Amino acid sequence: MKKKILILGSSGQIGSHLEDFLKKKKKYQVFKFDILLGNSFDLRNFNNKNIEKFIKKSDFVYFLAFDVGGSRYLKKYQKTYNFMINNLLIMGNVFKLLKKHKKKFIFASSQMSNMDFSTYGTLKRLGEDITNSLNCLYVKFWNVYGIEKDLKKAHVITDFILMALKNKKIKMLTNGIEKREFLYADDCSEGLLKIMNRFNFFLKKGTELHLTTSKKTRIIDIAKIIKDILKNKGIFIKILPSKKKDFLQKSINNSSNNFFLKYWKPKHNLRLGITKIIEYYNKE
């Protein structure tokens, strides 16, 4: 019998890649659950019986759903009432049902969860603590990139690629010197599968799990890679003045925990991952 996997946030950047990845394995029955599928998939609704039905019949849950987007989205919305309440309702509803039905799950956190000035980071930290209280696992993601369908919430690599393809210009929000660790979504999916399959092992280890390459890259260098791949397009990179620094993380440069790299290795370097995304959007 196939293991029944529920992906909360299945239309998101990570969730959509994870769904495809698990289906290709042909060993799992994958249940999609995302607000983009309709009102009956709204995790904020405490009276939505559909949520409990799916959680109850699942063997394992990936809790990826969150009101979140790239730096433009977070800058605009993370301090707003709707952003905070949306995420509190999602977490309150889902965690309650996971506890009720005693389900094993992975909660998607962020490397920003230690940044108290960030509303997004604070909410993720709360999710980590609740996950620990339920004796389950959270995973910290480090700037996962891949194909994105909701472009209003697009992250930096998608933003840059679409700017380059549409306008032949990459307009940066900062001076580009801030560094990030990037991970291609298919590699992220493979890591999430490995954690699920060795859930009790990693739970017993008690070490924080970070999904990352551990390699830091400047944002300006992302733009340069895209420009080089599209060298026949004549892409121009517009860098803002040096005073325009990293507003999202306030230039905090966390160090990743490399523990999980003993058990899993990413297969895509930045150039390969970016090339795949460019090929997708070129077709679109």
pLDDT at 40: 95
Q: Does residue 225 register a pLDDT over 70?
A: yes
Q: Does residue 245 register a pLDDT over 80?
A: no
Q: Does residue 284 register a pLDDT over 80?
A: no
pLDDT at 250: 61
Please report how many Cα atoms fall inside a 13 Å half-sphere around the Cα of residue 82, on the Cβ side: 6
pLDDT in tens, 52-64: 999 999 999 999 9
Report the C-alpha gap between 174 and 219 in whole angstroms: 9
pLDDT at 74: 85
pLDDT in tens, 261-276: 999 999 999 999 999 9
Alpha helix stretches (DSSP H) within the chain = 13-25, 49-57, 71-77, 81-100, 119-133, 156-167, 185-197, 199-205, 219-229, 270-283
Provide the 3-class DSSP secondary structure of residue 237.
strand
Radius of gyration of the chain (CA): 19
Q: Does residue 71 register a pLDDT over 90?
A: no
User: Quick check: pTM over 0.85?
Assistant: yes
Among 144, 141, 223, 142, smallest CA distance to 177 is for 223
Q: What are the tokens at 156?
A: 């930096």
Q: Does residue 253 register a pLDDT over 80?
A: no
Q: Does residue 122 register a pLDDT over 90?
A: yes
Mean pLDDT, residues 216-237:
93
Among 263, 178, 250, smallest CA distance to 221 is for 178
- Do 184 and 265 contact (CB within 8 A), yes or no? no
Mean pLDDT of the chain: 92
Greater confidence (153 vs 3) lies with 3
pLDDT at 249: 57
pLDDT in tens, 153-180: 888 999 999 999 999 999 987 888 888 9
Segments making up each domain of the chain, as ranges: 3-283
Q: What is the dihedral of CA 10, 14, 16, 19, to 10 degrees?
A: -80
pLDDT at 26: 82
Domain 3-283: CATH superfamily, name plus number: NAD(P)-binding Rossmann-like Domain (3.40.50.720)
pLDDT in tens, 10-38: 998 899 999 999 999 889 999 999 999 99
